[in-house]
Amino acid sequence: MALVGEALLTASIQVLLEKMASPEVLSFFGGQKLNAALLNKLKITLLTVHVVLNDAEVKESENPAIKEWLHELKDAAYDAEDLLEEITTEALRCTTKSDSQTSGTQVWNAISTSLNPFGDGVEYRPSTFVVDESGVYGREGSKEEIIDMLLSDNASGHVKTVIAIVGMGGIGKTALAQLLYNDERVKSYFDMKAWVCVSEEFNLFKITKTILEAINGAAFSCTRDVNDLNLLQVDLRESLNGRKILIVLDDVWNESYNNWDMLQTPLKVGASGSMFIVTTRNANVALTMRAHHTHHLEQLCFEDSWRLFTKHAFENEDPLAHPKLEAIAEEIVQKCQGLPLSIKTLGGLLHYKMDEKEWDNILRSEMWDLPSVELLQLCG
């Protein structure tokens, strides 16, 4: 009976994907000038689910959590299907401008509410400075180039120098920063280090507090008003006075110079040679932060992409032992276009799967039709 339910779920998701691409739905969103971001997010989520569904169904009997997830997924899929039916009906019913506007608002409110089952499980995952160096490929040259700058005695005469690592999402900026942060030469050179995952919200208070906690460790105890940024900055200034510090700001989106100026003001008391490493997708961020050097990270070559994929897909096995899978794997790696996140994710998904059909399903998946940014969202 379970197999029948699983087959119906797979079919339901396929139907949803087809309905989302229907002229009625696309026309309704375009005609009402509705924000199509949520519709697009649903498509990405459904493609993700479609890719991993077979594996989840196999493991359902072994893992109660997966069984519960599949149950919730069925409910959410049926709700989404009902909603898309409503959109189709409304699109056909809207014959006057006033009706169209009213219906558009009502349906958009329904979309925002009803599709939460797909969105609630997506959580932001902050980065850390911990890294498995054996799992990072093709970044040796970039690492050594930036370490030379970090260990430079003159540091261009600046009390603090900013080095920006710029590249598209999923290309490995954080992994490179982790390699730099954990290098023994870097550890010996700087008196203090701090790692801050910034993300889209440039929260000055949280960033300052994280730096303080990182450099003072367990000794840091703010007995004053913890909500007072001024007091935190005074504490930071006192902690850094005359010391050489390395601060990594990972995944920065902020383009406001005022925000950046407020953050770095208490850091000016650090010793000459203090450094910032900033990772960002946006080259304008590097300009805002007055980066002294911008390192543009490129995609991996095929050889490094292949090594990364086989590490996660085959682990200790030789790919040559599976010639049919190897041929498919080479095509999958080519489609990943040198993006480590996509390569690692798909390699992990196919880990120890020896069924040629499963590999071919990934290769022929509709996810490859998505723009690269959306594909990375799917893999992330």
Same domain, 236 and 152: yes
Same domain, 107 and 143: no
Q: Residue 34: which residues within 8 A CB-CB, separation 6 or more? A: 28, 104, 108
For 51-68, b/e burial (b = at least 16 CB within 10 A) is: bebbebbeebeeeeebee
Same domain, 212 and 112: no
Same domain, 73 and 156: no
Tokens of 22: 């229907």
Give the three-class secondary structure for 320.
helix
Q: Which of 296, 316, 337 is the last residue of a domain?
A: 296
Q: DSSP of 256-298, one letter per residue?
A: -HHHHHHHHGGGGGSPTTEEEEEEES-HHHHHHTT-SEEEEPP
**CATH classification of the domain holding 180:** 3.40.50.300
Same domain, 114 and 156: no
* Structural domain boundaries enclosing 252: 133-296
Q: Which of 296, 322, 349 is the last residue of a domain?
A: 296
Q: What is the pLDDT of residue 46?
A: 67
> DSSP letter at 342?
H
95's torsion region: left (phi>0), alpha (psi -120 to 50) or beta? alpha
pLDDT in tens, 225-262: 467 888 888 888 888 888 899 999 999 998 889 999 99
Q: Is residue 368 part of a domain?
A: no
Q: Which of 123, 143, 173 is the last residue of a domain?
A: 123
Q: Is residue 352 part of a domain?
A: no
Same domain, 141 and 110: no
Same domain, 141 and 287: yes
Same domain, 148 and 283: yes
Rounded distance between C-alpha atoms, residue 300 and residue 291, angstroms:
24
Same domain, 27 and 174: no
Q: Is residue 34 part of a domain?
A: yes
Same domain, 95 and 142: no
Q: Is residue 317 part of a domain?
A: no
Same domain, 107 and 164: no
Same domain, 168 and 288: yes
Q: Is residue 327 part of a domain?
A: no
Q: Is residue 329 part of a domain?
A: no
Q: Is residue 110 part of a domain?
A: yes
Q: List per-residue pLDDT tens for the chain, 380 residues long.
A: 344 345 556 666 666 777 777 776 777 666 654 555 566 666 666 666 665 665 565 556 556 666 666 677 766 766 666 666 666 666 666 544 444 444 444 444 444 444 444 444 433 446 677 777 778 999 999 999 999 999 986 544 555 689 999 998 889 999 999 999 999 999 999 999 999 999 888 889 999 988 988 888 755 555 454 678 888 888 888 888 888 999 999 999 988 899 999 998 888 777 788 899 999 999 999 999 999 999 999 999 999 999 999 998 887 678 777 888 889 999 999 998 999 988 888 888 787 677 888 888 888 876 676 655 555 555 55
Q: What is the pLDDT of residue 347?
A: 86
Q: How many domains does the chain have?
A: 2
Beta bridge partners of 166: 280, 296
Q: Is residue 180 part of a domain?
A: yes
